[in-house]
Amino acid sequence: MKLLEGRVALVTGAGGGIGRDFALAFGAAGAAVVVNDIGTSVHGEGSDAGPAEKVANEIRATGGKALANTESVADWESANRIVQSALDAFGRIDVVVNNAGILRDRFFFNMSVEEWRAVIDVHLNGAFYVSRAAAPHFRSQQSGCYVHMTSTSGLVGNLGQANYSAAKLGIVGLSKSIALDMQRYHVRSNCIAPFAYSRMIGSIPTETADQQARVEKLKSMETAKIAPLAVFLASGEAKDVSGQIFAVRANELFLMSQNRPLRSVHRAGGWTPASIAAHGMPALRAGFYPLERSQDVFSWDPV
């Protein structure tokens, strides 16, 4: 048997890039795949049924089972229709991959409310809507798996991406809550932070030498390198893996840290602003994180 034989996987944003590679890998592993993609631009504009149908055809051409779906994840009713399409076509749903996303990059002091809402709606609200729509089915069948795409832009930081960073870090909190709340039903939830050159990454400005160097480095990282981890997480081989954050960068696989206390300081009788300045903050300062971006932390060339 193939690793995902008999399972049904829903992959959002699967019309291209990382999502397409996920859908193809799930199909090759034996899963029936719902290929969801509204077919917008990287900024969330327009719609096109072509990308989702093309990927579904690629899976079917190799003997797999696939259904194209062009509903939006950013709306509660349409998210429910996406999940229902899996049930109607294949009779069940076993895996949800929350990959759909858009970018509206702009420095925080220039970011509009619309740019903020658009990115939050697709990434964070979309992940919640689709996950929540699948939850009753996972609960009733006492099994299921969520794979959510996060980003080091949220885990570490990046310039000009307050909306995207907030959404991606919010997804980490969502995933952990799902893992805790649904553990009793044998449902797992994990995050992947991908490093790969995709359509979204291709929209990064290349006006400065630093930006150009970053994009050239990203071009060496293939989107297909991310898919094996997603297939593993969706399989029975990962039955004891939940609530974790992974990152994949070319041939490197990382387990990312989660927030825990680093240092502590105690003062009998409590603190005042003055004693915090004189004693508390100097004692904690050695544990401060520098104001770094993702590329500062992952500063070496991909392996």
Q: Which member of 164, 185, 197, 289 is catalytic?
A: 164
Using CA atoms, how far apart are residues 58 and 94, in angstroms rounded to an integer? 21
Helix (H) or strand (E) holding 297: helix 294-297
Give the pair of three-digit tokens for residue 67.
């259904």
| Strand-pair category, 252-255 with 245-249 | antiparallel
C-alpha dist (Å) from residue 203 to 60, 183, 220: 31, 38, 16
Neighbours of 231 (CB within 10 A): 23
SS3 category, 249:
strand
Bridge partner residues of 9 (DSSP): 33, 95
Strands 66-69 and 95-98: unpaired
Q: In this structure, are strands 144-149 and 245-249 parallel, antiparallel, or unpaired? A: unpaired
**Is 185 noted as a catalytic residue in this protein?**
no
Helices (H), 91-239: 113-120, 126-141, 152-155, 162-181, 209-219, 227-234
Place of tokens 């349409």: 78
H helical segments located in 29-112 = 50-61, 76-90
- Residue in 248, 236, 190 with CA at minimum distance from that of residue 18: 248
Q: Across-strand partners of 106?
A: 161
Catalytic residue positions?
164
